[in-house]
Amino acid sequence: MTTHPLEVIGIAKRFGALTALADVNLHVGRGEVLGLIGDNGAGKSTLIKILCGFHRPDAGTILVDGSEVTLKSVDHARSLGIDTVYQDLALVNELSVYHNMFLNREIVRWPLLSNRAMRRRAEEHLKDMGVNLPDVTVEVAKLSGGQRQAIAVARSVYSDAKVLLLDEPLAAMGAKEGTMILDLIRDLKRRGNVSVIIIAHNYAQVLDVCDRVNLLQHGRITFDKRATETSLEELTDLVVAEYRRRGAD
Amino acid sequence: MGKALRTFTDGFLRRREASVLLVALGLMVYFRAASPVFLTRENLINIAQATAPTAIVAVGIVLLLVSGEIDLSVGIVAAFAPFLLHFAIDFYGVPVLLAFPLALLIAAAIGLLNGLIVTKLHVASFVTTLGTFFAVQGLLLITSHAYPVPIPEEMRGRFQTWIGAGPWASITWALIIVAIFHIVLTRMRWGLHTISVGGNPVGATEAGIRASRIKIGNFMITSALGGLVGIMEAARINTIDPNIGGGTTLTFYAISAAVIGGTALAGGSGTIVGALLGALVLAELQNGFNLIGYSANTIYLILGLAILVSMIANQYLSRLRRAGRT
């Protein structure tokens, strides 16, 4: 049996009387991009919060590289290589791009920060990832939403993340900006050492960038196909059928 | 050549400290013209001795403001610290060189208390430090019986001169402290994390920065600096006075200096060099108008207007800076 960078078996989570997740089985392969879709309230956010160590599941097993773990906190999950990228929340507007890239992982030549080294490495790394910025010394406040998102992703990759969780990375973003992020994800895929789980509403974009698509319904994964084996029509039909069923209830 | 000069002036004007430096120099020119005494050695000593206490406390205030907090109790800690020194030396026979760090340590402990209440019990720092202000004031008046005392005999001599009585002693300390904490804020991890915690508390915590530790540390630094200023001033005026302006005046001057120097109350940005220049501007205004012959009452009015004008200008300038020309 092959081991996956991240796999969950039988995950359940209840909040009082509400069952957010009933029985979730899901995995992401090495270097794979998994698209997680589902209606509002299907439990996507709860699932992501469990995967990043924020919530503890009531039942089920989490496997990182094949071995069972209990994620104690977001920090703990991060130390295991599972990193979440939140749009905007992650960066400090008042700091430069390179200080943000190295936030809390600064290069220090005691007692001073090695600004030059951090600047050079940030430049190299961003260029390497295909993120074009005029100047890494500029304050993050002066950048666009897409550029900020790209920096946040680049930072996670730089910190040796093995699994990246992207929650709605394209929300509130223009077409050009969205393309930039999609390019970044494609580039990660090409490198093949970082796995990505991406939550998105735009199915066309999901199919465009993902290797595999999972649909979360009523707290269960009800659909799991390779992106090449499904289509925009099929995904749309699935969700529309779900609407109809709910209407009939 | 012209281009190089323009780049230089452009770079200079974009620095936050530029406007307040220009104001400080402008005031110097104005008061020199108005009074020939202004730039004499004796008066420069006066200005230096008025600048130093404000500047030193303002260093702590800047760190706190940048990390998104404030301390209203620092002035009363300054009034309390020399009494601690007096109690330790005169009542318990502790040698000066031990009593001095002990007094600073107790001052820092008050900062620790402030920090713990703010970060662990989630009480706003404005309210917390208002509470500790009155509590420490009560403690001070009870233990001192509200009477001034002469400084301890053991403190006299070399220690007194070095710590504050020498004409340039206090400003020398101020410059050293400003230099150290300027580096801390701009070139060290502590400063970077202080900015992060004030600029984006959620993001900083997400990145694994322990916000409480940073804030508590900055409260402790501020209180310790307040304690140092109190002891310096006692050495300078030869008396330990519980009713000294320290209580509120020092705090308000320090906050004014920080704000005039270009530190925002909103957190995330600030400058320690700016606060030193802010303290200099305040000292110049006070000293200069005094020399010209305005009464102390008029000076308060002018001071208030100066703070308002500089803050309005600061708002306007930072909007300009944000708008463009990166």
Residues of chain B with pLDDT under 70: 1-5, 7-14, 245-246, 314, 317-318, 321-326
CA gap A165, A198 in Å, rounded: 6
To 10 degrees, the CA torsion angle through A27, A33, A37, A43?
40
- Interchain contact, A106 vs B189, CB within 8 Å: yes
Global confidence as pTM: 0.87
CA gap B217, B209 in Å, rounded: 13
Domain ranges (residues) in chain A: 6-88+161-248
CA A168 to chain centre: 8
- Interchain contact, B200 vs A138, CB within 8 Å: no
Tell me the pLDDT tens digit for each residue of A119-128: 999 999 898 8
What's the pLDDT at B326? 38
| CATH architecture of the region A6-88+161-248 | 3-Layer(aba) Sandwich (3.40)
CB-nearest to A99 from B192, B202, B268 is B192
Contact between B236 and B52 (Cβ < 8 Å): no
Tell me the pLDDT tens digit for each residue of B151-196: 999 999 999 999 999 999 999 999 999 999 999 999 999 999 999 9
Model ipTM over 0.95: no
Do you know the residue count of chain B?
326
A11 touches chain B (CB under 8 A): no
Q: Work out whether the CA dihedral A169, A174, A175, A180 comes out positive or negative.
A: negative
Ordered structural domains, chain B, with CATH: 18-316 (1.10.3470)
| Chain A residues within 8 A of B322 when measuring between CB atoms | 141
Cα radius of gyration rounded to whole Å, chain A: 19
Collapsing DSSP to helix, strand or coil, A166 comes out as: strand
In angstroms, the separation between the Cα of residue A8 and the nearest Cα of chain B is 24
- Interchain contact, B268 vs A92, CB within 8 Å: yes
Consecutive 10-residue runs of chain A (249 residues): their mean pLDDT? 89 92 94 89 86 92 94 89 77 94 92 96 88 89 85 82 86 76 86 88 87 92 92 87 72
